[in-house]
Structure 1
């Protein structure tokens, strides 16, 4: 194409496309070509042009201009066109009305004033990014974008609203956004990371509202990481490394303010960071942001997969511990403490039903739940509920293992209803039941002591109660001794035949219960009860 009758024809191959150019026409527009021909009129320019990065479409525009044809400029081709004309020296110093000045004028008048056109131009610069930066085009685009974002941050997309009602929050428009929807615009998240990172960093430096920046960062992660992994396909090593680089970069860019993103979305980013084996600094950064607003989390958010452990240890206990530490170090609202305590109790109950949950893992979670509950001085009924569920689902545990699980319980800080249930709970080890009964005795004694203090002249009725209390104390001690003997007997047997009295039948007998096999005839308060729907009791 563009063949001339001149004997000075130059043949150039760009990619798979062949160009036939006139040396004199090209030299009249290009200072670089003119200088080479001046040194050697027979110089082969093919090697020179091959060293200049350009695609065939861009080189065709240059060739058309040199041969006097019209050049159709657009946002999609203007950046590589400016870079190539700059490399060839097609400026006003060499020739009036040259290609470089025309292209720059188009760039300034048609591209920079429009957000959409800037995004299109930047996308076209991916293959020649180094030249784009050297020429100064990227800085010009960057300054224009920052100015537009400061004037109207909605160019970055709507901020993600944190809903207090539906719980999840998420990337969805509110009613006002749907009613007054802006015209469609190019999305910043379509740019590659090497372009997106400096743009967002500069916007942060110029204090573009952080809620808009945070929303853009989450959408970028959703586009380049979450959506790519939605099918749970095995990623290649290159793809995995690329996504790891993305999540680590986004964590550094993400502002640290509270409530810029819903807690659930932060947990989502943390899970992908764990799955992609991102750096500890990246994971810790997400943990800090989550910890600052842990009171907004849901139970499912805490189900963070463990990394580098066997299958049976599927929950990252240390991660949850670090998040709790951040929360208590940055929060001072009593209502938030109560919310997190309830969250940990619900989480304990959720994982307690997992048949694969190891006893050490459960105990660690129970201890964290205990610490959270002690902060706002709440009762421990929720923790007892989780322990009861764990014992029910893991009935194979030995008596010693059950005692280890129950060690975290403090019956002094359980409600009366929970203690009553524990006293009749066949899943609890005998030693624990005795402790519950003993605590009930102490509570009753303290209640009577306070009543006696309030009344200077106690009546005969109170004296009778005291006598009964002393009798009960003796009976509890005898019961503890009998339970100890029974436990020794059980440990010496391999199995107890079904026909013999069970341990709990023996306990009922000690309390003077009827041995009738008809449940309607039993006159014992230890009759089995179903779990209370209120809190599992």
Structure 2
């Protein structure tokens, strides 16, 4: 090779810069340049080559020329290996040159030493790859960097596991102080998450590949979810709106690939709020809402009180909660464990009470929340009654038909005696529902009295038992007559209300009588047990 160079070839690199180089030297190492020059008929004049997509731009082309002018020698390190690899591939620098290895061979050998690289070396190389994305960098070299990086993360987590990774909600430590001190636990947790901050500068495309590699290595899903949420919060500070949308959508997609029991439920709601404010795609929202819905039994009331969308007058986004419920119930109540279902029922009852005072909430939405939970899942309808009462009190201007629809969501069979008594005096409810509740209360009392009669009839004097039974039967007949009269007086609301109050008093008297009977029965049974050994015979005194 000549000591002096002839600068007879112009190379325009991506419109950034034009290099004037010796075509003989460059073509000696570059198969691509050699092919281009062999096609040219103007051998004597100064030629020009234009590259529109040279990887790494002008700075990277300069690296290649230095390699050529330095007779095929170059110092390959983590700071330039990515650039040299893609440039060598682009320029087809795999030609055999006497006495030297071509650039492709040299970069491949350097990559074989990756297992000896430090953590900092890997981060530098990854950052170089990131600048070459998309398309320019070979996925093979990127996969090697990621695999080596993840290997170091997995190794550190295996040697110093963080006990908090099994807890999806926080970094709280649950092990007993008798086994490990809180200080050692904090240190252990730090060792499991030490790498979080170092990976924040990587863009979301590299993070997606990184997470796939972590999952393939079975890294703890709890650690991965914490990292993703930490990454999202850290990057949002300096990101533009478009970047934030891209990050949120990618984070949701990656969280979907994790074990949901390892994901913080509180954090999912935080991501949802970000997503709603950023107007992410409908597909992203559906995935996020589906994840939240599947774990609805973990939610708190505060989680569900999401403000209504913009330009909506009602307070809370009830439609969102209905979608959560639909996702939670899935194919039906029978597919959900009873313990989880009961938690959601209690949560929904609290939610009903919270949204009931909203003056802009439509009856159809309020009723939809009641009916989405199957009635068979509720042990008691008292909270639903409380919520319905609040709703009717605030929405006093509802027509009779609308009030009837709200009341139809109540299962009166599952109301307690206290709730029924309250309903009988409740002017917010239509009169016929108050009457219906009282009839149900009387039926309960009749059933209870009948049961009591059967239990104590053999222990009471026949005349006393018959008298008491007739008295109760007569009282019941009188009440049923009153109910019939009351139901026929729908246009005389005041008179009907008086009848209802009278019936309530009579029902209360029946309850008191029943309680006295139960007390006497208990005393009688105790007396029998105490006298059984002495063969004593006595008749308890019931009337006082």
* Aligned equivalent of 2:327, options 319, 323, 340: 323
- 2:138 alignment partner in structure 1: 133
- Which residue of 2 is the match for residue 535 of structure 1? none
Contact 1:75–1:111 (CA under 8 A) maintained in structure 2: no
Q: 1:510 to 1:329 in 2, by over 3 A?
A: closer
* Counterpart secondary structure, 2:473: helix
Out of 208, 213, 222, the position equivalent to 1:197 is 208
Greater Rg over alpha carbons, structure: 2
| Distance (whole Å) between structure 1 residues aligned to residue 331 and residue 350 of structure 2 | 18
Aligned with 2:491 (options 482, 485, 505): 485
5 Å-filtered alignment, 1:376-387, equals 378-387=379-388
* Equivalent of 2:497 in 480, 502, 507: 507
CA gap of 1:331–1:306, structure 2 versus 1, over 3 A, is: farther
Residue 169 of structure 1 is matched in structure 2 by: 169
Say whether 1:335 aligns with 2:339: yes
Following TM superposition, by how much is the alpha carbon of 1:44 offset from its aligned partner in structure 2, in angstroms?
Answer: 5.1
Assess if the C-alpha contact under 8 Å between 2:245 and 2:280 holds in 1.
Answer: no
Q: Provide structure 1 residue ranges, at least 5 long, that are not aligned to the other structure.
A: 488-502, 514-524, 526-537
Q: What's the TM-score once normalised by structure 2's chain length?
A: 0.72
User: For residues 211-230 of structure 1, what are the structure 2 equivalents within 5 Å?
Assistant: 211-222=222-233
Q: 1:170, 1:265 within 8 Å by CA — same for their partners in 2?
A: no
1:469 aligns with one of 463, 466, 476:
476
Number of aligned positions between the proteins: 475
State the distance in 1 between where 2:238 and 2:383 align.
39
Q: What is the SS of the residue equivalent to 1:259?
A: helix
Matched, 1:254 2:261: no
User: 1: distance between equivalents of 2:376 and 2:334?
Assistant: 18
Distance 1:38 1:334, change over 3 A: closer
Bigger Cα displacement from structure 2, 57-66 vs 180-189: 180-189
Contact kept in structure 1, 2:265 and 2:299, CA below 8 Å: yes
Map of 1:176-325 to 2, 5 A cutoff? Answer: 178-180=186-188, 181-182=190-191, 183-184=194-195, 187-188=198-199, 190-222=201-233, 242=246, 246=250, 249-250=253-254, 254-255=257-258, 257-269=259-271, 276=279, 278-279=281-282, 283=285, 285-303=287-305, 312=314, 314-316=317-319, 318-325=322-329
Which position in structure 1 is the counterpart of 2:7?
A: 8
Distance 2:205 2:116 in 1: 20
Task: Give the 3 Å change call, closer, same or farther, for CA 460–30 of structure 1 in structure 2.
Answer: same
The residue number in structure 2 matching 1:55 is 57
Structure 1 residues 397 and 36, CA gap change in structure 2 (3 angstroms): closer
Task: Quickly say closer, same or farther: Cα 1:363–1:197, change in 2 above 3 A.
Answer: same
CA distance in 2, matches of 1:55, 1:203: 32
The partner residue of 1:82 within 78, 81, 85 is 85
How far apart are the structure 2 equivalents of 1:242 and 1:404?
Answer: 45
Secondary structure of the structure 2 residue equivalent to 1:426: coil
1:93 shift after superposition: 1.9
1:235-255 Cα distance to aligned partner (Å, 9 max, x none): 5xx66874675366436x523
CA contact (8 A) 2:249 2:280 kept: no
Contact persistence 1:292–1:331 (CA under 8 A):
no
Q: Which residue of 2 aligns with 1:412?
A: 413
1:61-88 deviation per Cα after TM superposition (whole angstroms, max 9, x unaligned): 3333444499675534321222113323
- Contact persistence 1:295–1:337 (CA under 8 A): yes
Query: Does structure 2 conserve the Cα–Cα contact (< 8 Å) formed by 1:211 and 1:260?
Result: yes
Q: Is the 8 A contact 2:146 2:210 kept in 1?
A: yes
Greater shift, 75-84 or 108-117, is seen at 108-117
Structure 1 match to 2:391: 390
Structure 2's unaligned 5+ residue stretches are: 175-181, 509-544
Partners of 1:217 and 1:254 within 8 A in 2:
no
Return the alpha-carbon distance in structure 1 between the equivalents of residues 149 and 210 of structure 2. Answer: 8
- Provide the residue aligned with 1:436 in structure 2: 437
Instruction: Report the 3-state secondary structure (helix = DSSP H, G, I; strand = E; otherwise coil) of the residue aligned with 2:429.
Output: coil
Q: How large is the RMSD of aligned CA atoms in angstroms?
A: 4.2
3-state SS of 1:355 partner: coil
Could you tell me how far apart the structure 1 residues matched to 2:31 and 2:500 are? 109
Decide whether aligned partners of structure 1 residues 240 and 214 sit closer, same or farther in structure 2, where only a CA change above 3 A counts.
closer
- Conservation of the 8 A alpha-carbon contact between 1:36 and 1:43: no
C-alpha contact 1:348 1:386 (8 A) present in aligned 2: yes
Q: Secondary structure of 2:21's partner?
A: strand
Counterpart secondary structure, 1:47: strand
State the alpha-carbon separation in 2 of the partners of residues 184 and 143 from structure 1. Answer: 15
Q: Is the 8 A contact 2:8 2:47 kept in 1?
A: no
